Amino acid sequence: MRWIWIDRIVELEKGVRCVAIKNVSLAEEHLHDHFAKDDRGPATPIHPASLIIEGMAQTAGIMVGHARDFAEKVILAKIGKATFERDIVPGQTLVFSATMDRIDEAGASTSGVVEVIDHTSGSNERLPVGNIDLMFSHIDKNMRGLAFPEHNFVFTDQFMDLMRNSGFA
């Protein structure tokens, strides 16, 4: 099973920027354990920061792959920075905005801003959540001699379907 941590791409400018959204829902199984009811109090479902980082990695990774027409296998190589200002709870929408800092034969570096839309406020105002800087590697270029499948196992049909369903064929 492959987990996709973004629901839709809303903006994609080749080699420059990608914006995606993630609707956080109480139907997501991981929220029932993070944090579950215990003897100290009721359940407090919080979307884990590690999954916010993964959502940004998927958003930025799509931008990096798209910049070279998905000809290379792109993997996350390093989290340069990840800072967070607030918790994310069910009913909110995360907005991942990734920008390309550098791309070359070896890989790419990206800067990301995460915002949240809290639908309970009655407005679509975006509130800051955090900043995430990431580095990606083009593994076919950087890990020669290792046996990788010929097909692009990073950008699976699920990711390509996400792009098509978002209007980016």
Active-site pick, 32, 34, 66, 138: 34
C-alpha distances out from residue 123 to 85, 92, 129, 142, 165, Å: 20, 12, 17, 46, 26
Q: In a 10 Å sphere around its CB, with 0-12 CB exposed, 13-18 middle and 19+ buried, how is residue 31 labelled?
A: buried
One-letter identity of residue 85: E
Residue 34 annotated to the active site: yes
Buried b / exposed e along 67-99 (16+ C-beta atoms within 10 A): beebebbbbbbeeeebeeeeebbeebbbbbbbe
Give the number of other CB atoms < 10 A from CB of residue 117: 17
Show which residues are catalytic.
34
